[in-house]
């Protein structure tokens, strides 16, 4: 990731570097300093790639909804396993045997950091 980021910076600042060069050279530092000084005096553009307006900020409700989806997937896997065992042993599964609150409880406990 560091190499990719540095390649982006090199392209933005019009610095020609060989592909196998992974070290900062003195000319790189001078070019960056020159760019920053130019921005101070109104030359060049500010890159707002890391600005918060370009970030997706997820609310607690979104995070909890995602965790609930994970819990439902875990519950689905448990139900499938219970049904396959019931078929294998020729039993009739009841809703009480199929549905359990354990996946939901463990998912939310891990989300809120309540590990026993």
Under 8 Å between Cβ of 44 and 12: no
Asked if residue 64 and residue 45 are part of one domain, the reply reads: no
Asked if residue 108 and residue 68 are part of one domain, the reply reads: yes
The DSSP 8-state label assigned to residue 55 in this structure reads S
Classify residue 8: in a domain, yes or no.
yes
The DSSP 8-state label assigned to residue 104 in this structure reads H
Regarding predicted confidence, which is higher, 55 or 2?
Answer: 55
The angle that helices 102-112 and 60-88 make with each other, rounded to 10 degrees, is 150
pLDDT at 106 over 80: yes
Residues 48-60 pLDDT 10s:
766 777 778 888 8
pLDDT score recorded for residue 80: 96
> 8: domain range?
2-49
Classify residue 54: in a domain, yes or no.
no
Domain count, the chain: 2
């Amino acid at each position: 990731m560091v190499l990719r980021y540095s390649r982006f910076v090199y392209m933005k600042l019009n610095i020609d570097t060989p592909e196998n060069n992974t070290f900062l050279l003195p000319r790189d530092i001078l070019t960056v300093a020159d760019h920053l000084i130019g921005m101070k005096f109104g030359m060049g553009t500010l890159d707002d790639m890391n600005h918060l307006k370009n970030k997706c900020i997820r609310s607690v409700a979104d995070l909890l909804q995602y965790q609930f989806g994970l819990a439902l997937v875990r519950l689905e896997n448990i139900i499938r396993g219970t049904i396959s065992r019931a078929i294998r042993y020729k039993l009739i599964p009841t809703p009480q045997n199929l549905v359990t609150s354990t996946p939901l409880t463990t998912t939310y406990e891990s989300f809120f950091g309540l590990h026993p």
